[in-house]
Every structure is written in C-alpha cells, then in structure tokens.
Amino acid sequence: VRGSFHPQHFIPGLKSNSLVEYKNSDVRILDARIVDTQDRIVNLLEFRNEYRLLVDIEFGISADNVAFGLEVNDEKGVRITTVDSGKMFEQGFHYCVKEGDAFTLEYYFTSLFRTGLYYANIGVSSFDGQQVILNRIVDALAFKTIKIEGFSSGYFENIHRMTIDTGKQKRCIEIL
C-alpha cells in the first residue's frame, strides 16, 4: 500500500477475512485504499468527512468497452451504495485498453454511513453485447465508520442544521 497512514484513523490489521476474487482474465485489481483530504490512508472514517477510495488496475490483456464498478455493503452483505459498470457503459463511460495499460480509479465520497463495518467490492467488466466480468473482488477492502455524537440519529442522518425562530430571536443549531 502506497502512502502514509493517519495515526488516529487507521486500524492496523483491519482487513477482510471474506475476500473472494473472480478473475476471468489477466486484469489485476491492486492496492485498494481510502484516503482523507490530506492523502493519508485511513480505514476508520468519520461521519460527514470527505474521502476518496483509490484502486489500481493493471491490464495484462487488450479489451474493448471496459467499465469499472464499485459496491459498498454492510457487514450483513446489504448493498449500501454502488457505481454500476453496466450503467457506466450505457452512458458512454468506457475505455479501450491495451495490454500493459494501468489505471488508478478514484471514487470521491462523503461518509454518510451509519457507525459500523463495511466492505467494498471492486469490479472490471467489458461489454460486447453482454457484460463479461474480467475481474471482481468481493470484500476487497474493509473499513469502519464512527460518528461524532450530535443531535441527529436514525438510518439516514441527513439533517445537519436547525433554526428556531421565536419571533423575538432566531437561533441556529448545528446538529452534527
């Protein structure tokens, strides 16, 4: 893994024990990691902070119409969010690659996950009438999330500010 680790937001030894690779061709998915806004590697994410999930892809084959996918699941395997490679292909976000090409994918996100353990699945597909999975790693990356306690709770904690107007005074409260 390239880069420096955030001392307070990296748990040594936190990794997936359930990683499964479905490699159908010579496409390598390498070095999946999450970095904070200072490019420090983290695996303990704070609620509402900005992050990037990075992954390196190396092609030992040439292929047309290649698209990339990402899926984040909770520890029970429930899909929380996804970037669908099929939809990327349909909307024109695909590439022709040559043997020896290497890409770094960057997925930008705000951590809105509830406190818990999550896993990232990473996939590379090509499309020629139908989807062909070139390589897919299930549970490629494990990470945990924490929330700084505030007033908001629930499954989706989207309310971040509240104002109270008494007619005489208006008060704003930052909820998270």
| Residue, of 150 and 63, whose pLDDT is higher | 63
C-alpha gyration radius of the chain: 19
- For residue 132, give every residue at least 6 positions away whose Cβ sits within 8 Å of its Cβ, in sequence order, or none: 24, 125, 126
Give the SS3 label for residue 133: strand
| Residue, of 155 and 140, whose pLDDT is higher | 140
d(CA 128, CA 60): 19
- For residue 130, give every residue at least 6 positions away whose Cβ sits within 8 Å of its Cβ, in sequence order, or none: none
Q: Are 67 and 128 in contact (CB under 8 A)?
A: no
- The confidence score (pLDDT) of residue 135 equals 96
| Residue, of 114 and 149, whose pLDDT is higher | 114
pTM, 2 dp: 0.83
Q: Are 111 and 48 in contact (CB under 8 A)?
A: yes
d(CA 94, CA 103): 13
